[in-house]
Structure 1
């Protein structure tokens, strides 16, 4: 098994993963500063209208076109016949449905900027690499839908990433394998090393970091601040070791304010009343939906520990979150 610190060259900007879902707020409505004005100078009849007509006629929805325009305005300067249409047809041949092509373009509009030569030089061989490693077609389609630009790496670099993930011990048939490929292709070596160092500083061994990564590869996409904050808070509130959480890394992907803090408050009460042992399953507490949590851990003990409900309501009210709301986003729970 290779060490976690694997030398993979820094990636081109077009291949980097959209860290905004994990590192900071994602502004769905604003345009990226400094990128829109050139587009406004384009001839609307000659440059914009043909592409908009093509997208509308091909089943691309208005909201997706707005997202494409705001995130990658250079697309509208691309050649319709030499870049946009061939790339669109290529993607559609894999993902098949309008729903899937909308999802793919919402996340990776820059793929439509590629020439046929670029597609044949990157996506085609990279898809072959995945197939040769035994990745199921459904997983490949999922990767195209969720982050097609992952496949825009040069094949030698992409092959190195796939072999690295395989060397970590991931099963090529599992969903975790393709997610790990997505994570590794979207992260520079320096960022990867910083994330490893955060986990080391909170007490995780190399084996524990690898355990967490294999269970939930997206744990490496979380901001360094949130990793430290979540691990230290859960360990302190529940009287456990930070290293114990490596067995349930999905917890790291949850909302700190809306889910982790209120549920830890309830478990503190139940543990103090000897209604639960400290070695309870963190997954069973944190990953169930809100109604199940209330039923299993709050209303069930309302006579023995009525303060559990007060603790839960108090924490959520303090944080401005209504009971009944749920965490949302595109996080993949494994």
Structure 2
């Protein structure tokens, strides 16, 4: 009988058919028919079962078995494996789920797992979506409250894809208390003038803000305002995201670094941060290299950079440097009909840049497009060729 059970499980896991709710609800009945209820067996070897039936490595099985020492029979784990096969998970997927959450094998299919699937299907999730959720957060999936939490989060994030992105880095949003933590934070941000779409973007990029204690979020709001970005402004979401990474001491140190690196006054730092909060979380190396290039090579004034902080967000080798060469080439050869500032060269999309600063000069400078393309690859010639 044990041999028959293993054959049934092996077939289910290797086949991994297209999942459907009706198939899922009948799979454990098929398994029960193939293998009647088994009485507790003191000799049941959990570690061997994890290797043979679940596909874990010996090391994974040894670690997982410590959490399953109470199991005396394969009956419930068999039903769970059938459930996972019904979702369309492959053998490798099943091994990943069990290794991540060994106690998933103890979940009750009829009482917990199947009702969760029915509930999530009712929210509009596809079988594929549900399978992805199991792989990412198996411990949360075996709790029926996951349905009510997703019922709140799906409209908050705007889509399943948006909601699942933070789950790739941890399950904190599903572990957090909706009534005491999450909903108060959402209400607070709405009161700060952040719209629903921006709230979703904020939580996709920085889910820890959603799960932070409301008092901590209040501190973030005050900090964002303290660096010169008032509630309701277009940059407030970005400012909030930036300060969420920094303690008060680290924020002060970063401001000092900006002043020193870009030769900015307090007022200029305020202008730069209010227009581009991302500078607070940019690495020191990134900031230093751009400062050296923009001030020493391009010849920009510190105040100019402060008024256009987005210059610091572009690739140095792929954008700032090649377009500087084009600007200097066109200027030195008097091909520009009127003065054009460097920021205009940089902010243009690639298509706009080619249309405005490369294509019009094909006859006057036939090698310009070729030299620009080489510059974008880092193969910058000593001087752009005119003929």
Could you give the per-residue CA deviations for residues 34-57 of structure 1, whole angstroms, max 9, x where no partner exists? xx8994472564469959968985
Matches within 5 A, 1:90-169: 90-103=152-165, 105-106=167-168, 109-114=171-176, 118-169=177-228
Question: Which of 53-62 and 160-169 deviates more?
Answer: 53-62
Secondary structure of residue in 2 paired with 1:120: helix
Q: Which range is displaced more, 60-69 or 201-210?
A: 60-69
Q: Is the 8 A contact 1:262 1:311 kept in 2?
A: no
Unaligned runs of 5+ residues in structure 1 are 1-35, 321-334
Q: CA RMSD in A?
A: 3.8
1:64-103 aligned within 5 A: 75-78=137-140, 80-81=142-143, 84-103=146-165
**1:224 aligned residue:** 284
Rounded Cα–Cα distance in structure 1 between residues aligned with 2:373 and 2:102 = 53
In 1: Cα distance, 2:377 partner to 2:130 partner:
35
Q: 1:108 to 1:136 in 2, by over 3 A?
A: farther
Residues 1-334 of structure 1 mapped to structure 2, 5 A cutoff:
39-40=99-100, 42=102, 45-46=105-106, 50=113, 57=121, 59=125, 75-78=137-140, 80-81=142-143, 84-103=146-165, 105-106=167-168, 109-114=171-176, 118-202=177-261, 203-275=263-335, 280-306=340-366, 308-318=368-378
Conservation of the 8 A alpha-carbon contact between 1:237 and 1:268: no
1:173 aligned counterpart, secondary structure: coil
Distance 1:102 1:300, change over 3 A: same
Say if 1:165 and 1:180, in contact at 8 Å, map to a contact too.
yes
**Structure 2 length as normaliser, TM-score?**
0.60
CA distance in 1: counterparts of 2:108 and 2:338, whole angstroms: 61
Q: Give yes or no for contact 1:254–1:260 (8 Å, CA) kept in 2.
A: yes
Partners of 2:294 and 2:338 lie apart in 1 by 12
Q: Against the structure 1 CA distance between its residues 56 and 136, is the aligned structure 2 distance closer, same or farther, given a 3 Å change threshold?
A: closer
2:89 maps to none
- Range with bigger deviation, 305-314 or 42-51: 42-51
Mark the CA change 1:96 to 1:311 in structure 2 (over 3 Å): closer, same or farther: closer
Distance 1:122 1:147 in 2: 15
Partners in 1 of 2:205 and 2:154 — Cα distance? 14
CA shift, 1:94, in A, is 2.1
Shift of residue 139, structure 1, vs aligned partner: 2.7
Q: Distance in 1 between matches of 2:346 and 2:317?
A: 13
Q: Which has the larger radius of gyration?
A: 2
Within 2, Cα distance between the matches of 1:134 and 1:37?
Answer: 41
- Evaluate the alpha carbon distance shift between residue 78 and residue 259 of structure 1 in structure 2; reply closer, same or farther with a 3 A threshold: same
Residue 82 (structure 2) aligns with: none
Give the Å deviation of 1:304. Answer: 4.0
Which structure 2 residue ranges, 5 or more long, are not aligned? 1-95, 381-387
Measured after TM superposition, the shift of residue 81 of structure 1 is 2.4
CA distance in 2, matches of 1:242, 1:178: 26
Structure 2 CA distance for partners of 1:270 and 1:143, relative to 1, 3 Å: same
Structure 1 residues 102, 318: closer, same or farther in 2, change over 3 A? same
CA, structure 1 residues 288+64, in 2 after alignment: closer, same or farther (shift >3 Å)? Answer: farther
Contact 2:162 2:204 in 1 (8 A): yes
Q: Evaluate the alpha carbon distance shift between residue 94 and residue 245 of structure 1 in structure 2; reply closer, same or farther with a 3 A threshold.
A: same
